[in-house]
Chain A
Amino acid sequence: MNWLTQAQWSPYIVGAGIGVLSWITWLISNEPIGCSTSFSRIAGMIEKLFRGKKVEKKLYYQEVKPEIDWQMMLVIGVVIGALISSLLSSDFRLQWIPSVWSLTFGDNMVLRLAAGFAGGILLGFGSRWADGCTSGHGISGTMQLAVSSWISAICFFIGGILMAQLLFNIIL
C-alpha cells in the first residue's frame, strides 16, 4: 500500500482517476463535478445571517439557493480528502507563503495575502460570471463537449497565463 503514502502520483493516473470519478458521480448522483457555485451559496448563507430571509428574494439567490447541496458536500469532501492524502504522505504543512511566490516577491505576508484576496475576489466574481470554474467548465463541461465550457476553459488559461507573465516577468 505504499502508493497511498507517496507524495505525488503520475498526473496521468490522477487525471484518469478524475475521469472515472466523473463517470461515477453522473451514474450515482446525476451530477457533474464542480465547485464554484458552492461559494456563492456560502456567500448567500452568510448574507442571510445578517439580513435574514429577504436575501432569498435576490434574483441570483432565487436561481442559486443559499443552502447546502450535493456540490457543497463535494467541496467539503475535497478539504477532507486532501487532508488525508497530505497526512498519509507527510506532505501536510501549515504555510503562509508559497515558495515560488517568496522567490520573486519576498517574505512579506501582507503582500501575499493582499494578492491572494484580490485574486480570490476576481476568481469568485469571474467564476460566477462565466457560470463555472476549472472543474465545472474545465473538466466536467469540456468532457461533455459543451461549447460554453471550451470557451471558458480556454479563457481561464489565456487570462491566467497573461496575468502570470505580467506579474512574474514584466512587473518584476
Chain B
Amino acid sequence: MKTKKMKLFWGLLFGMIFGFLLQKGGVTKYDVIINQLLLTDFTVVKIMLSAVVTGMIGLYIMQELGWISLRPKAGSWGKNAIGGLIFGVGFALLGYCPGTIAGAIGNGYLDAVTAGLVGIIFGSWLFATIYPGLKEGILKKGYFGNNTLPLIFRVNNWVVIIPMAIIIVAILYLIEHAGF
C-alpha cells in the first residue's frame, strides 16, 4: 500500500516537471502547435526530436547495464496507421494533444479545459464502448507485434541507434539552417 502511494507521488512529481518543461517550450499553446502543423514553426518537432535522441541513447545504455527493461508496444497497421490518422485530424482541429492539453489547462486556456477536455474524454469513452467490435478485426490487421527497428532489420541495437542519432541531429541542423 505504501509503495503504491509512493509510486503515485512520483508520478505527480514527474508530471510537474514534464508540465513545467512543456510550458517553457511553448507547446502548451494552440498557436505553436497549429503553426507546426502549418509548417511555419518547428518548435514541436525540435522538442520531440531532441527528446527522442536524448532519451533513446540513455534508455538503451540503461538497458545494456541491466537497470531497466524496455516495453515497446505491440501494434498493427490497422491500429497504428488508422488510429494515428484519426488522431492527426483531431490534433489539427483542437490544436492540443492529450499531454499538452493538460499543460494548456495549467496555462489558463479555457478552450482546452472546456470543449477540448470534454471532447477527449467523450472520444475515449466512445472507443471503449465500441472496442469489442474492433479488437479482433481492424485492430489486428497487419499485426507486427512489439517489434523494434533493430529486430526488424536483424541488427544490434546500436547499429540503429547511432545512425538514428546522427540523422536526427542532421534534421535538426537542417531545420535550423533553413531558418525555422
CB distance from A118 to the nearest CB of B (A): 6
Residue among A8, A75, A136 making CB contact with B102, cutoff 8 Å: A75
Known contacts A70-B10, A77-B16; A145/B157 CB under 8 A: yes
Is there an interface contact between B28 and A82, defined as CB atoms closer than 8 Å? yes
Report B19 CB to chain A, min CB distance, Å. Answer: 3
Among residues of A, the one whose C-beta sits closest to the C-beta of B46 is A11
Taking CB atoms, residues of chain A closer than 8 Å to B154 are none
Which A residues from 1 to 43 make CB contacts under 8 A with B? 6, 8-9, 11-12, 14-33, 35-36, 38-40, 42-43
Encoded as 1 (CB less than 8 Å from any B CB) or 0, chain A from 91 to 112 comes to 1111111111100000000001
**Contact across chains for B83 and A78 when beta carbons are under 8 A apart:** no
Q: Which residues of A contact B118 (CB under 8 A)?
A: 117, 120
Q: Which residues from A are CB-within-8-Å of B20?
A: 81-82, 84-85
Question: Closest A-chain residue to B131, C-beta based?
Answer: A60
Q: How far is the CB of A131 from chain B (nearest CB, A)?
A: 6
A116 to B95 CA separation, bound complex (whole angstroms): 8
In this complex, what residue of A is CB-closest to B92? A163
Which residues of B (37-91) have their CB < 8 Å from a CB of A? 37-39, 43, 46-56, 58-59, 62, 67-68, 70-77, 79-91
Q: Is the interface of A mostly helix, strand, loop or mixed?
A: helix
Known A8-B24, A19-B55, A21-B18: A83·B107 in contact at CB below 8 Å: yes
Please count the residue pairs between chain A and chain B whose beta carbons lie under 8 angstroms apart in the complex.
517
* B178 at interface by CB-CB < 8 Å: no
Give the CA-CA distance A101 to B129 in the complex, in Å.
32
Interface: B171 (CB within 8 A): no
- Contact: B102 with A78, CB < 8 Å? yes
Give Cα distance in the complex from A127 to B55, angstroms: 22
Contacts of A168 in B (CB 8 A): 34, 38
Produce 1/0 per residue, A105-138, CB < 8 A to B.
0000000111111111111111111111111111
A80 and B19 contacting across the interface, CB-CB below 8 Å: yes
Interface residues in B3-33 by Cβ distance below 8 A to A read 7-26, 28-31
The residue on A at minimum CB distance from B138 is A129
CB-defined contacts of B137 to chain A, threshold 8 Å: none
Known contacts A40-B127, A77-B16, A78-B103; A26 and B144 CB within 8 A of each other:
no
The one of A42, A64, A77 in contact with B15, judged by C-beta atoms closer than 8 angstroms, is: A77
Interface string of B88-128 (1 = CB under 8 A from A): 11111111011111111111111110111111111111111
Task: Among A24, A61, A84, A146, point to the contact of B72 (Cβ < 8 A).
Answer: A146
Given pairs A74-B11, A74-B15, 6 additional interface contacts (CB within 8 A): A60-B131, A128-B124, A143-B52, A152-B75, A155-B85, A160-B37
Q: Using CB atoms and an 8 Å cutoff, list the residues of chain B in contact with chain A.
A: 7-26, 28-31, 34-35, 37-39, 43, 46-56, 58-59, 62, 67-68, 70-77, 79-95, 97-112, 114-129, 131-132, 134-135, 139, 144, 146-150, 152, 157, 160-161, 164, 172
